Amino acid sequence: MEYRKLGESKLSVSAITFGAWAAGGWMWGGNDDQEAIDAMRAAYDHGITSIDTAPVYGQGKSEELVGKAIKDFPRDKVQILTKYGLRWDLAKGEFFFKSKDNNGKDIDVYRYAGKDSIIAECESSLKRLGTDYIDLYQIYWSDKTTPIEETMEAILRLKEQGKIREAGVCNYDVSQMQTAAKSIKLAANQVPFSMVNRDIEDELIPYCIESRKAILAYSSLERGLLTGKMKAGQNFGEGDHRAGVKYFKDQNIESTNAFLAKIKPLADEKGATLGQLVIRWTINHPGITVALVGARNAEQSVQNAKAINIHINGEEMEFINNQLSDLVIIG
């Protein structure tokens, strides 16, 4: 495994990091708790020492499973990345969207990053995770009702208290990062980035390279689309959010699969799966520090970890990018 420092911080994480959204079941049509735990442990055994989660994933369930998965690991050998600022249990801040919890109960999700809320969220996360500190604490989404300065003041306090090691953001644009950086030194920004979603290349990546901030790419396999296993007419289970995402429209699945067919010979040549080739391409991309990749079971975790062993040279990166230039996703 490769381990990479987040920006100018002292925190290093595995270049392939376990994404634990699906472990919580919420918006993924449920999960198997033991398989999720086994997946995280298998990831660790193969060098993936970093796990990214959030309270909202299963309304605490994902964090609880992460805590169970890592309880026997040396704490200084595993990096916990979690988030704050999405409340389903408090109707305060900026309304985000309606959803259902894992029991089918209606819930309203709010973006809220007020100081007292953050302090309370951190304490709850520490309990669920079974630890006394969080390695990277990230605001999940911006909250228009709370000044960024107030939010970061609370994070600075948590850092001074030793409850978090480093501060990060998610889904922030350049302007928001610049504002946050006036109050606290940021280590990273976690944003969506994949072969079919490269919106951050124009502004955010250049800014993060220049300001020495790490980028954690989530949905790097585009929620399974880039494994090549999806087919037009894909049947998603009840509660699986992918059914309503544009990338999974039949036309986009077909277009993506046509692109994947062009690069599959390169994967075959390297004895790799398409998913492994995609993961390696992601962490090779300029400005990308980490690829967050989920897994439903231990076998998927092992396959994800093995992507680190693939070598893609400059000429091969250019070949992949040239094929990508012909791929059109219909919005």
In sequence order, the 6+-apart residues with CB closer than 8 A to the CB of 141 are 85, 86, 96, 111, 170, 171
DSSP codes joined into one string, 192-207: E-BTTB-GGGTTHHHH
Instruction: Tell me which residue has tokens 């988030």.
Output: 83
**Catalytic-role residue among 44, 57, 110, 218:** 57
For residue 310, give every residue at least 6 positions away whose Cβ sits within 8 Å of its Cβ, in sequence order, or none.
270, 272, 276, 277, 280
- Quick one: tokens of 129? 């995770």
C-alpha 226/C-alpha 259 separation (Å) is 10
Q: Which residues contact 161 (CB under 8 A, 6 or more apart)?
A: none
In sequence order, what DSSP letters do the residues of 232-272 get, joined into one string?
TT--PPTTBGGGGSGGGSHHHHHHHHHHHHHHHHHHHHTT-
Answer yes or no: are the C-beta atoms of 212 and 205 closer than 8 Å: no
CB 97 within 8 A of CB 137: no
57 is catalytic: yes
Separation between Cα atoms, residue 168 and residue 187, nearest integer Å: 5
Q: What amino acid positions are annotated as catalytic residues? A: 57
